[in-house]
Chain A
């Protein structure tokens, strides 16, 4: 069963002093997220990621379209018992302590007193806030607030978790911890839907990703599929500092760093390269196919949008 089915959700805001000028924030969006997967919703700033999440959370109302979450209408309040949400740059009631905050959210989510007593220390420990559980949130740093945000999103043990830019404001260690947490959630059988513009995070974590730009969905697919466009090239890595002349002749890209050398050659010339390394008595470390990165795919998708616009501008000029 699909955890999320978005069926043509779209959003147009009325802007201007008289609210008469329409501004399209999201073109009709069709998207399906399977249960148990980590799904990355990628796009540059202002692409429509947060609007989509707000639509799914019922914070803004769609101009058209509908959605189903965990098999129910997304407006069904019971669905919200099964989902957790971390907004972008979360801000919480700063007069509460982390423990009080979680207790309050637990109450609103219908978590029983006994369950809250058990879950709150567990979740605080999971996000590394146990030591500061009695400190008011107004004294929290940005990273600590982000952790508190993650804690409130998973407190009631939801089946589906939405994270809006979860790595924002975190240091490298914090980002690593969040990545680990998301993987743990996946192993627990939960579905994770997260928006980000940090592609390396998406590439490391996601089973599938969708790319959105200017309110339009530009591509969806498994990360492996999107990055597996092997261009008939391989990367050869060996130990040493020297590049044999025969390999130099084959390769357009050769880089030596430390005691390793990397060279990109055509797949068909793999044996020639291996023979050359043998002859030179150099230790081969790895041969891997060259894949396009998610970043390359992402930039390609964005350029596809910009090119027609630029062409139109040139024509008009």
Chain B
């Protein structure tokens, strides 16, 4: 069972690696990290802050674009091109297929993030000439970015298991934008009353809370992150991803592949 998931994941990874669009996006991200050097040079005394902020933001932004771009096509493209037929006619369960696809995309994003992180550290070394103890928190920020990608991957997979790539992209991106303001949504709920309050509160808890995973600014300002935040964010991201993936599997298990 686990072997089949691994084979599907490896093939998904191979597909992404052989896609030229991916390299363009990574190149853009690295360029943006490089731009952090230039901007850092004209920002007196805050070179490090600009390099970290801009570099991590580039990693996050391009990672989200890659997650959505590849994620929405993972299942729908297989159905549209009927490549799925020759997979599911083998002893492969549908949930294994979905999980394999998810793992493959997650693996792709982790590898991409690692490459882009090298760019960020390179830019940081260029502007600061050395690494300091607070730079270790960059790893935590990168870890949270990867958790963010896992949630986005699962959402893209969920939507692509029942809708077209275009609609999947719209839904996933909308949830990413709303989720980035989840804390503000909760704040808004506290200010309102009655139905609006309940509706805003429900929406705030249903949409993924990406704002809690975004610690780029804190890391750029060399603010330490507590262990409880790491544990809390890890559990939250894993629970959210698992829930969304269960939904994707449930839908896909009952779908007719016409």
Binding site for B on A (CB under 8 A): 13, 54, 57-61, 77-78, 80-81, 83-85, 87, 89-93, 95-96, 104-105, 107-110, 149, 152, 162
Contacts and interface: CB of A to CB of B under 8 A. Distances in A.
The A interface is mostly helix, strand or loop, or mixed, namely mixed
A8 to B, nearest CB: 18
A87 B85 contact: yes
Given A93-B11, A93-B15, A107-B3, A57 B89 contact: yes
Nearest to A164: B85
B82 interface: yes
Interface string B1-44: 00110011001001100110000000000000000000000000
A110 B83 contact: no
Given A107-B7, A108-B92, A87 B257 contact: no
18 contacts: A54-B85, A57-B88, A61-B256, A78-B91, A80-B90, A80-B91, A81-B91, A85-B86, A85-B89, A91-B82, A92-B86, A95-B18, A105-B86, A105-B90, A107-B3, A107-B4, A108-B87, A152-B86
Contacts of B4: 107-108
Contact of A104 (B3, B7, B256): B7
Interface in B100-119: none
Given A13-B256, A108-B8, 6 more contacts: A58-B89, A59-B88, A87-B85, A92-B83, A93-B83, A96-B14
Contacts of B11: 93, 96, 104
A60 B258 contact: yes
A61 B254 contact: yes
B93 interface: yes
Nearest to A86: B86
A110 B81 CA distance: 24
Nearest to A76: B91
Nearest to B12: A93
Contacts of B257: 54, 59-60
A61 B254 CA distance: 8
A28 to B, nearest CB: 18
B229 to A, nearest CB: 40
Q: Top 3 closest A-B pairs, CB basis?
A: A85-B89, A60-B256, A95-B18
A108 B89 CA distance: 10
Contacts of B3: 107
Nearest to A107: B7
B188 to A, nearest CB: 35
A5 to B, nearest CB: 19
A253 B11 CA distance: 62
A237 to B, nearest CB: 47
Interface in B35-94: 81-93
Contact of A58 (B8, B14, B83, B88): B88
Contact of A57 (B7, B85, B258): B85
Contacts of A59: 84-85, 88-89, 256-257
A109 B18 contact: no
Contacts of A87: 82, 85-86
A85 B82 CA distance: 13
A96 B89 CA distance: 19
